[in-house]
Amino acid sequence: MKLSKIALRNITRNKRRSLLSIVAIAVAAMSIAFLFSFLEGYKNDLADNLHTYYSGEIRVRHKDYGKNEYLNPLHLRIESFRGVIEEIEKNDAVEAVSPRISFPTGIYRKEDTYKAIGMGVDFQYEKAYQNLEDRIIEGVLPEMGKNQALIGVELARDIGVKTGDKITMISTTMRRGSNAITFRITGIVSFPVQAFNKSYLLVPLDRAQKLLRMNDSVTEIIMKLKKGSSGSEIAGQLVAAFRAAGREELETLSWEEIGTSYSFIEMASVTYNFMALFFFILASSVIINTTMMVIYERTREIGTIGAMGMIRGEIVRLFFIEALFLSFIGSLIGVLIGIGITIPLSIVGINFGSAMEGVSIEISEKIYPSLSLRSTIFVFFYSVMVASLASLIPSSKAARVEPAEALRNM
């Protein structure tokens, strides 16, 4: 009789035992598959937030801005920025552009001053860049040319303002003077990033330029690229374009080259990979443990088969094939359940809500797991391999038991 046939018969003969093995392998495979999807979603979220709110996929600044950033060097700016945007938009790989001015500010309200970060943005560009309208929980977007502001939900709560209220923003101007303008709050926005909710308010770019006396300039232009585009390659093309246009004062960096941004992702990746590794080891130990227990339990049966004339190599192969069948079924079920959980959650997201309160890392309250075909296939084959190989140790050990010894214990 063929070994595979005997293995199948063994599986169906003791249904409860086989089911136990399949369930253990399925749960482990499902957990790993989901964890991978979750961590992928987590990393995507982190990268997206950094690209949207901080560095973009490519960032253009004055070449000396970065090394003086802590001094708020507004004078190290991009002058005639619209010409720079025109140059950027000539590149087909660029999907969205956002010219910005970020500046520390004091918000004066009812004789108290609150520290905040102001951001001058062009709301027309911003609509495309970060779906800002969808994030407004109360009110509307400010209009360009008007002293209107959009405020982060937690900052609004801290200051005690609602839409329609007025605040006065005081800031250091480009020439290190001082200026203040009164703005009306037109909307309260819930950013996915806590830091923005707590500290930021957005004002029309032209009003920020007036407040900071920056004329027609911005401190940075960030951009997002079309999928599949290489940040460093497009940054290189833009550097050449700016140079040809005589804009050699500009520094153009892809997000991989922006130390803080990229190293943050790298650091996060290492942390998540460690988390995944520990979980992986845990799940693998469940599979190995279950498989080995099931085979050790059958030492006498193995001895009997040996007494009936089956040689040692055949016995090991038999149990290997049996484990292979069980792990194949278990892994397949586990991975399919993992996919089944991931797909709806990748649409509705997992809301960590209050758990993220007080967390200052650039992670959204809602994480959308992202299904990775490559890692899912890997999890399937890995689970099958671990379970099958785990059968080799106990079965080869049991096959070494003398048939007479095994029969004596019957």
Partner 1 sequence: MKRTVMALLVTLMVPASLWAISAEDIIKKLEKNTVTKTARIDGVMIINDRFGIKRSTFISYARGADTMLIEFTSVEEEGMKILRTRDEIYLFYPDAEELIRMQGAALKESVMGSDMSYEDMTGGRTLLQSYKVKLEGTEEIDGAPCYKVSMEAKKKGVPYYKQIMWIDKELFIYRKIHKFSRSGKLLKEIICDDVRQVSGKNIAFHMVLKDTMKRNSSTEFVINDIQINIPLKASIFSLEELTW
Query: Could you give the CA distance from residue 220 to residue 85 in angstroms, rounded to a whole number?
Result: 11
Does 170 bind partner 1 (CB under 8 A)? Our answer is yes
Query: Residue from 104, 160, 177, 236 that binds partner 1 (CB under 8 A)?
Result: 177
Query: Residue from 181, 241, 276, 288 that binds partner 1 (CB under 8 A)?
Result: 181
Q: CB of 57 within 8 A of CB of 254?
A: yes
Segment interacting with partner 1 (CB under 8 A) among 7-15, 175-183, 195-203, 352-360:
175-183
Residue 403's alpha-carbon distances to 10, 247, 397, 409, in angstroms, are: 20, 86, 13, 10
Shortest Å distance, C-beta 175 to partner 1: 5
Does 164 bind partner 1 (CB under 8 A)? Our answer is no
Does 178 bind partner 1 (CB under 8 A)? Our answer is yes
Q: Give residues with Cβ within 8 angstroms of 217, minimum separation 6.
A: 77, 78, 79, 80, 81, 209
Query: Residue from 182, 232, 273, 285 that binds partner 1 (CB under 8 A)?
Result: 182
Query: Could you give the CA distance from residue 11 to residue 210 in angstroms, rounded to a whole number?
Result: 78
Q: Give residues with Cβ within 8 angstroms of 77, minimum separation 6.
A: 62, 65, 174, 214, 217, 218, 219
**In this structure, what token pair is assigned to residue 83?**
């010409």
Query: Residue from 180, 281, 359, 407 that binds partner 1 (CB under 8 A)?
Result: 180
Does 111 bind partner 1 (CB under 8 A)? Our answer is yes
Query: Residue from 83, 86, 113, 297 that binds partner 1 (CB under 8 A)?
Result: 113
Please calculate the CA angle 381-383-385 and round it to the nearest 5 degrees.
65
Query: Could you give the CA distance from residue 344 to residue 336 in angstroms, rounded to a whole number?
Result: 13
Segment interacting with partner 1 (CB under 8 A) among 30-38, 174-182, 254-262, 317-325:
174-182
Closest CA to 41 of 367, 355, 347, 377: 367
**In this structure, what token pair is assigned to residue 345?**
């959650």
Shortest Å distance, C-beta 163 to partner 1: 17
Total of chain residues touching partner 1, rule CB under 8 A: 25
Q: Which is nearer to partner 1, 182 or 285 (CB)?
A: 182
H-run or E-run covering 248:
none
Shortest Å distance, C-beta 174 to partner 1: 9
Q: CB of 153 within 8 A of CB of 190?
A: yes
Does 165 bind partner 1 (CB under 8 A)? Our answer is no
Does 79 bind partner 1 (CB under 8 A)? Our answer is no
Q: Which is nearer to partner 1, 90 or 213 (CB)?
A: 213
Does 13 bind partner 1 (CB under 8 A)? Our answer is no
Does 284 bind partner 1 (CB under 8 A)? Our answer is no
- Using DSSP's 3-state secondary structure scheme, residue 282 falls into helix
Query: Could you give the CA distance from residue 45 to residue 168 in angstroms, rounded to a whole number?
Result: 34
Q: Which is nearer to partner 1, 72 or 229 (CB)?
A: 72
Q: CB of 346 within 8 A of CB of 305?
A: no
Residues of this chain, 211-270, that bind partner 1 according to CB under 8 A = 211, 213
Shortest Å distance, C-beta 145 to partner 1: 14
H-run or E-run covering 166:
strand 166-172
Q: Which is nearer to partner 1, 1 or 71 (CB)?
A: 71
**In this structure, what token pair is assigned to residue 385?**
């391999």
Query: Residue from 19, 23, 95, 106 that binds partner 1 (CB under 8 A)?
Result: 106
Residues that bind partner 1 (CB under 8 A): 68, 71, 73, 75, 106, 108, 111, 113, 147, 166, 168, 170, 172-173, 175-182, 210-211, 213
